[in-house]
Structure 1
Amino acid sequence: MAGAAGGTEMAAVYDVLVRYDAETQQFEPQLAKAVEVAPDQLGWTITLRDGVTFSDGSPLDSRAVKWSIERFVAGKGTGSELWSDTVTDISTPDAATVVVTLDKPWSDFESMLASGFGLVVAPSSQNGDVFTPIGAGPFVVDRFAQREELVLNARPDYWAGSPNLEKLRFVSLGGDQNTLESLKSNGIQMAFLRSPEVVDQARSANLPGFIDTQDLGSIGVINNRPGRPGSDVRVRQAMAYAIDPQALDDRVNNGTGLPGSDMFPSFSQWHTDVAGLPTDPDRAKSLLDEAKADGYDGRLSFLSLQEPTAQRRALAVQAMLQAVGFTVTIDYVNSATDQTKRVLVDHDFDAAGSSLSLNDAVPFQRLNTHLQSSSVLNSAGYSNPEMDSLLAELQTAKTADEKRPIFARIQQVVNDTVPFATWSAQAVFVPWTSSVHGVTPTLDSVILFDKVWIEQ
């Protein structure tokens, strides 16, 4: 569940069990009244609030929470593999209590309850093959027109009291620049911005808002699978050494991004003394020459969306790779859906522009999803027992001081094996007009609207 992928809209309809407070760096109860962990971190007890109902009047009880989580896992929602590999049991000793049992300690388990697992869908929403969005959130769906708008109406019987806003309307305005202009003219009251140039403009305009800085916001994912150029680690290393993140940012974002080859930049709480690979065209040429001497012809395709920003990135990557001896063709696709299918489903690519968008508060889940050997969302087809061991160690680490040296070792393995090339972090900005108050951000740039009000 992320703000960039409809997380805010879903939270408005379904609510979440817990939310993340960026100021205190703690998880706070939302639908749950409390979450308690056993001393061994193997048992997590979720106590639900009294009297909470779904929008159809049915009770939000422990059985409903269990059903919703199991539905999410069965549907292979993001993180479901990790959940299945770690959770051994979900029990419901009474209507207000859910007990989740793990097979290993996991200090960040609560983050799952603030993500898709914590969006509680009513069992009554599923009637055969027909699904109706019924949740316990502050709003209900009034109208949905794909690629046009989503209109939500307030629930007067919401558990925390009737929302201050009567309606929410989510619209697509054809890109970040148009969205920012509409915000400035008060055509909309809140925006979601990811383009570095537009984020820079919005921040320069001193708009109020919430900024979420994500690690690995821009990467070059490299297909490691047999039969692809990237199956040779020397080719992957040559690609990483050839591309200058700063020059790439200058070409693509007019120098407004957060370029760098460190997985966790200097502003990250997980930054370590192990730096990412430096730009070194001579080293790139040498590695590429070695691969060519063993039969590689130097040809490589780069998969890219056919839209202006992605095209600029593809052309810049092509130029830098060709400067060290690669022969690069750009393979354009027309939609993000097409690119996702090529990369994640068909594995039909050599290299592609991508993003891991690690939430700096709890980066483990998404890092595990993309680097663990058996993960179905491991788009690079990367398989490394040492990395698997480090990820398992990271999951069970209890404190930040225990985790930081593991991140350093992960950076070193990434340097050595190059499952992807790191180009920049990503700043996501959710600005709003000065008339908007009571905004509650949570994980992954998701915004909760139950307390929002607009000054007249």
Structure 2
Amino acid sequence: MTRTKLVRFGKLVVATLASGMLLAGCAGEANQEVENVSGSKESDSSQASGILGSQGDGGAPLSGGTLTYASYAPVVSLDPAKTQITGATGGTELAAIYDLLMRYNAETGKYDPQLAKGLDESGDNLTWTLSLRENVKFSDGTPLDSAAVVASINRYNAKRGANNEIWTSSVKSVEAAGPSTVVFTLNRPWAEFPAMLSFGHGVIVAPSSYAAEPFTPVGAGAFTVERFSPPDELVLASKADYWGGAPKLDQVKFVSIQGEQAKIDSLATGGVQMAYLRNSETVEAAKGKFPGYAEFISLSMVGQINNRAGHPGADVRVRQAMNYAIDPAVLDQRARGGKGMPGSEIFQSWSLWHNGIEPVGLDPVKARELLDAAKKDGYDGHVTYLGTQDPNGQAAALAVQAMLQSVGFTVTVEYAASTADMVKRLYADHNYDLALGGNGLLDAAPFLRLYSALHSTSVNNTVGVASPEVDAMLDAIQAAGNGEDKKAALADLQTLFNEQVPIMVWGAGANFVPWSENVYGLMPSLDSIILLDEAWIKK
């Protein structure tokens, strides 16, 4: 590989880990509430995202102490343009250093200003105006003004930060309109635009950060970097002149602990006070022991079919046959111990975007008919399944192999040597026919990862879908509002999945960030990024 390709490949490793692809206006706020068509924000309450457990208010906040957080995948760079800003990798860490322009509030379904003072949408839905808080300074003493915001966003896109493709195709211009105002002009309406300012584009770095090499982490967040030893440890110290007031915590440590059960054990013994979990069995166990923030996600478990020419999945009949042959419930039992959320719907009953379009169900007879028709036209029936070597990954591989072979496929299972090898084969070499994956759709912003996974121009489109019809459908989802129009557009996507099977839908899932009973003041945002500026520990 050339050096440029190596750099992009390294970023793909981080991006796919973070998004779960492998593992399985009014003044003061962006009034973009995610609603269902009846106007209610409620769906299946048993699967609603939010804080679980009852701690009470804890009394008056106390100052002092160190909070230790066992991350999912340790951050390896403090440059937002080189780190996926999500809860799984880097989001909580970088938000502590740089803060976020906007924060998603799961309780209200709205985006609240964080570093920003407000975000307003124009009547024609093509302009968003961001107002900044006054007198906010970076840790080097320079002002966080509109010029700094515009420069940071432009740099992020130039460096190909996560979601830069969506941004550059959708945002016509970003301009400073006075020292405290930034105007975003869009090419088309985009109701989910505030979500972009709660991810990487909303993580603003000071001009001094990139004035010279190497990059220096200078932000306006509640903490500054005390020690960084990737991938083992990141230690942050509180910043007394933080714009929101001095943090209660003295220090925050982000550490690496291998294995989710080990994280739960460390929580129980006080070794850490927070952890990030996403394995179905450990999430279920932790929810019964600790308070925390749960976020439910669609397309957590999918079958990634290589649609490219030269692979079996280039034939829609083969993709349909696979889809009819595999039972998500069996796969969940084998790979997740029956603790997952199996199903063939893109949006299950708990989702705001659940619709009346029935997914394709299990039908081995149809699977054999479609496979036989493809074989008559020269297909040999062989499929190479690429899996991971962990026990759950191996169990999933054997289950998929058995169900496909029962209808006439011949399946060879290959295991990737490492996560990096898996990413290379999926995203760089496209050397696979079928693989277990996940897309991690967020109910508050489903378009972002649908675009990433399926748009013909996306570098993360590992399955190789190159369909004008799919691209047009994604454009319609993006332009739709947050109500009936969007729900209808997403229902159309389910119909397309039923007919074309670009990927197989096997189930939803959840992220869970548990914390100790004596930890208070944590503020969740989108994708389980947790803000720590108001966090405190009860002695």
TM (norm. structure 2) is 0.83
Which amino acid in the other structure matches residue 90 of structure 1? V
2:103 aligns with 19
What CA distance in whole angstroms lies between the structure 1 residues aligned with 2:358 and 2:160?
35
2:118 aligns with 34
1:76 paired to 2:153 = no
1:292 aligns with 375
1:7 aligns with 91
Matches within 5 A, 1:35-184: 35-184=119-268
What CA distance in whole angstroms lies between the structure 2 residues aligned with 1:2 and 1:321?
35
- Classify the secondary structure of the residue corresponding to 2:185: strand
What CA distance in whole angstroms lies between the structure 2 residues aligned with 1:280 and 1:178?
40
2:449 aligns with 366
1:439 aligns with 522
1:278 aligns with 361
TM superposition outliers: structure 1 runs of 4+ over 6 Å: none
Shift of 1:4: 1.0
1:322 aligns with 405
What CA distance in whole angstroms lies between the structure 2 residues aligned with 1:263 and 1:159?
41
Instruction: Encode CA deviations 1:87-130: one digit per residue, 9 max, x unaligned.
Output: 11111121111111111111221111111110111121114431
What CA distance in whole angstroms lies between the structure 2 residues aligned with 1:249 and 1:299?
24
Instruction: Encode CA deviations 1:268-301: one digit per residue, 9 max, x unaligned.
Output: 0100111222111221111111111111111111
- Classify the secondary structure of the residue corresponding to 2:177: strand
Instruction: Encode CA deviations 1:398-433: one digit per residue, 9 max, x unaligned.
Output: 241111111111000011111111111011111111
Shift of 1:335: 2.2
Shift of 1:362: 1.2
Shift of 1:196: 0.3
Q: 1:241 aligns with which of 324, 332, 336?
A: 324
What CA distance in whole angstroms lies between the structure 1 residues aligned with 2:227 and 2:360?
49
What CA distance in whole angstroms lies between the structure 1 residues aligned with 2:206 and 2:393?
39
Shift of 1:243: 1.0
What CA distance in whole angstroms lies between the structure 1 residues aligned with 2:405 and 2:230?
41
1:417 aligns with 500
2:434 aligns with 351
Q: 1:208 aligns with which of 285, 288, 291?
A: 291
1:339 aligns with 422
What CA distance in whole angstroms lies between the structure 1 residues aligned with 2:179 and 2:486?
36
- Classify the secondary structure of the residue corresponding to 2:274: coil
- Classify the secondary structure of the residue corresponding to 1:81: helix
2:272 aligns with 188
1:304 aligns with 387
What CA distance in whole angstroms lies between the structure 2 residues aligned with 1:67 and 1:145?
28
Matches within 5 A, 1:218-257: 218-257=301-340
What CA distance in whole angstroms lies between the structure 1 residues aligned with 2:171 and 2:190?
10
Q: CA RMSD in A?
A: 1.2
Shift of 1:147: 2.9
What CA distance in whole angstroms lies between the structure 1 residues aligned with 2:209 and 2:371?
55
- Classify the secondary structure of the residue corresponding to 1:44: strand
Which amino acid in the other structure matches residue 385 of structure 2? F
What CA distance in whole angstroms lies between the structure 2 residues aligned with 1:313 and 1:172?
26
What CA distance in whole angstroms lies between the structure 1 residues aligned with 2:359 and 2:158?
37
What CA distance in whole angstroms lies between the structure 2 residues aligned with 1:399 and 1:218?
25
Shift of 1:78: 2.1
What CA distance in whole angstroms lies between the structure 1 residues aligned with 2:472 and 2:136?
42
- Classify the secondary structure of the residue corresponding to 2:367: helix
Which amino acid in the other structure matches residue 202 of structure 2? G
Instruction: Encode CA deviations 1:22-45: one digit per residue, 9 max, x unaligned.
Output: 000000000001111111111111
What CA distance in whole angstroms lies between the structure 2 residues aligned with 1:130 and 1:191?
30
TM (norm. structure 1) is 0.98
Which amino acid in the other structure matches residue 398 of structure 2? L
- Classify the secondary structure of the residue corresponding to 1:403: helix
What CA distance in whole angstroms lies between the structure 2 residues aligned with 1:232 and 1:144?
49
- Classify the secondary structure of the residue corresponding to 2:197: helix
What CA distance in whole angstroms lies between the structure 1 residues aligned with 2:361 and 2:368?
14
Instruction: Encode CA deviations 1:168-217: one digit per residue, 9 max, x unaligned.
Output: 11112111111111111221111111000001111222x11110000000
